[in-house]
């Protein structure tokens, strides 16, 4: 016997803070392709972009050129103060 109470433990998480949202223009095209990112995040002050091509940025609304054809995964992480 371990004298352990076999009760239920429940965790609830309420994440307050910024929401990372963005759009881009144009969404596709021929390379080299200049893409402008529009930051639609709410309540954020710091921005960390990874464009999936080795380029990164901490600008709020960056632009990047994709030199090679392909499919790229873009990541935006936002932080509040």
| Domains of the chain and CATH, by start | 22-79 (2.60.40.10)
| Strand partners for 37 | 24
For residues 81 and 65, give the distance between their C-alpha atoms in angstroms, rounded to a whole number.
30
- The residue behind tokens 């596709």 is 28
In which band, very low, low, confident or very high, does the pLDDT at 76 lie, cut at 50, 70 and 90? very high
Distances (CA, A) of 37 to 14, 21, 23, 62, 79: 29, 10, 6, 6, 18
Q: Check pLDDT > 90 for residue 75.
A: yes
Is 45:81 a contact under the CB 8 Å cutoff? Answer: yes
For residues 56 and 59, give the distance between their C-alpha atoms in angstroms, rounded to a whole number.
9
In which band, very low, low, confident or very high, does the pLDDT at 36 lie, cut at 50, 70 and 90? very high
Residue 37: the pLDDT is 94
């Amino acid at each position: 016997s371990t004298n352990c109470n076999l009760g239920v433990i429940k965790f609830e998480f309420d994440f307050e803070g910024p929401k990372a949202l963005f759009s881009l223009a144009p969404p596709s095209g021929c390379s080299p392709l200049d893409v402008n990112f529009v930051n639609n995040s709410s309540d954020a002050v710091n921005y960390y972009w990874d464009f999936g091509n080795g380029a990164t940025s901490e600008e709020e609304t960056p632009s990047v050129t994709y030199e090679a054809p392909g499919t790229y995964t873009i990541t935006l992480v936002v932080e509040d103060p």
